[in-house]
Amino acid sequence: MIGILLMAYGTPASLDEVPAYYTHIRRGRPPTPELLAELVGRYEAIGGVSPLTAITKAQAQALEDALNAQEDGESYKVYIGMKHCHPFIAETFRQMAQDGIKEIVGAVLAPHYSTMSVAVYISEALEEASHWPDIQVRFVREWHLQPAYLSALEQRLRLVWMQFTETERAKLKVVFSAHSLPERILAQHDPYPQQLLETSRVLADRLAIADWQFGWQSAGRTAEPWLGPDILDVLQDLSQGGYRAVLSCPIGFVADHLEVLYDLDIEAVNKAKALGMRLLRTPSLNVDPGLVEALRAAIAQCRTEDTR
């Protein structure tokens, strides 16, 4: 039996869990009442609970089914480990070890590698793995150029493109986006910004889109500067440039959650409307067969490489 440690960000199961969740994100520092009220308000605006946990479970089941459909003579079991809520990554790794799993492949539900995102997930898994030296562990580090992932995004871009009128398409900007990170990653030569641009360029080339740009979103509330321009600032600039239509494609996210359902579908859409523009977003991948195939292929490739 080969165990797959599928790692995800996690989300509170109810509004009552938001304070503990937010405190965990802030590394044990409770948020101010103002920050907490703002986050609770965002969850309330999308219905009270994020669908992320349910989607992650569905992704895990679909991946397990796809892996076991391979004709490689192996059997697979997919486990979920969360970064900011139960079951935490270390808890899940421990459960896998107690279940007798001797080969583990870890993969994060984030296609683009960063020392401040994917590397942190891997580090938490490796810390627990150090207590189980008889277990072979490998990790998928990035999968931003997996053909099935790119094809799934390409299909969504084409479908949304057709929802704009010919007049709108004449002055339309495609804006790819992902979660911002602190600017200090640039001095560390972190590959995250470059990998995001690589995905964006491939998609733009496939659709022969010349008028596109990249924008950051969902920056953290900290004193240090974060990568920009923020997508809300991008919309402001586009309006001043005469644009009246925006096609938003959040390539850094693979599921519906707060940063998509609120930051884009509510905040960015309302900003665009106030500026006299129409913004449409590509649907999230969620349990798209292309996403599942991309993960399956990345895991299969990882098992042939020494990537611990």
pLDDT tens, position by position, 111-137: 999 999 999 999 999 999 999 999 999
Question: Are 89 and 191 found together in one domain?
Answer: no
Separation in Å, CA 38 to CA 6, 30, 44, 222, 303: 30, 14, 10, 15, 43
Cα-Cα-Cα-Cα torsion 154, 249, 188, 137, nearest 10 degrees, comes to -60
Question: Are 154 and 180 found together in one domain?
Answer: yes
pTM for this entry? 0.95
Digit-coded pLDDT (tens) for 142-164: 999 999 999 999 999 999 999 99
Domain that holds residue 267: 147-281
Strands 76-82 and 136-139 come out as unpaired
Question: Are 167 and 252 found together in one domain?
Answer: yes
Q: Where are the alpha helices (DSSP H) in 72-210?
A: 89-98, 118-129, 147-161, 166-169, 192-206
- The CATH number given to whatever domain includes residue 248 is 3.40.50.1400
Residue tagged 């586009």 (tokens): 238
Separation in Å, CA 257 to CA 2, 42, 51, 80: 29, 11, 6, 17
- Domain annotation covers residue 111: yes
Question: Are 55 and 170 found together in one domain?
Answer: no
- Domain annotation covers residue 110: yes
| Residue 52 tokens, joined | 């992320």
- Domain annotation covers residue 265: yes
Digit-coded pLDDT (tens) for 57-103: 999 999 999 999 998 999 999 999 999 999 999 999 999 999 999 99
Confidence of residue 141 (pLDDT cuts 50, 70, 90): very high
Whole-angstrom distance, CA of residue 52 vs CA of residue 206: 29
Whole-angstrom distance, CA of residue 172 vs CA of residue 241: 11
Rounded percentage of the chain residues whose pLDDT exceeds 90: 96
- Domain annotation covers residue 253: yes
Digit-coded pLDDT (tens) for 198-212: 999 999 999 999 999
pLDDT for the residue 307 = 45
Question: Are 128 and 153 found together in one domain?
Answer: no
Question: Are 277 and 161 found together in one domain?
Answer: yes
Question: Are 229 and 200 found together in one domain?
Answer: yes
Question: Are 123 and 246 found together in one domain?
Answer: no
Digit-coded pLDDT (tens) for 259-300: 999 999 999 999 999 999 999 999 999 999 999 999 999 999
Digit-coded pLDDT (tens) for 209-266: 999 999 999 999 888 999 999 999 999 999 999 999 999 999 999 999 999 999 999 9
Separation in Å, CA 110 to CA 54, 159, 184, 200: 17, 23, 20, 15
Whole-angstrom distance, CA of residue 266 vs CA of residue 286: 19
Question: Are 18 and 52 found together in one domain?
Answer: yes
Question: Are 180 and 87 found together in one domain?
Answer: no
- Domain annotation covers residue 308: no
- The answer to whether 39 and 31 are in contact (CB under 8 A) is yes
Confidence of residue 22 (pLDDT cuts 50, 70, 90): very high
- Domain annotation covers residue 66: yes
- The answer to whether 281 and 257 are in contact (CB under 8 A) is no
- What is the domain count for the chain? 2
Confidence of residue 306 (pLDDT cuts 50, 70, 90): low
- Domain annotation covers residue 307: no
Question: Are 132 and 174 found together in one domain?
Answer: no
pLDDT for the residue 221 = 86
Taking 3-state DSSP, the helix, strand and coil percentages for the chain, each rounded to the nearest 5, stand at 45, 15, 40
What does the pLDDT average to over 39-49? 97
Question: Are 177 and 212 found together in one domain?
Answer: yes
Digit-coded pLDDT (tens) for 162-195: 999 999 999 999 999 999 999 999 999 999 999 9
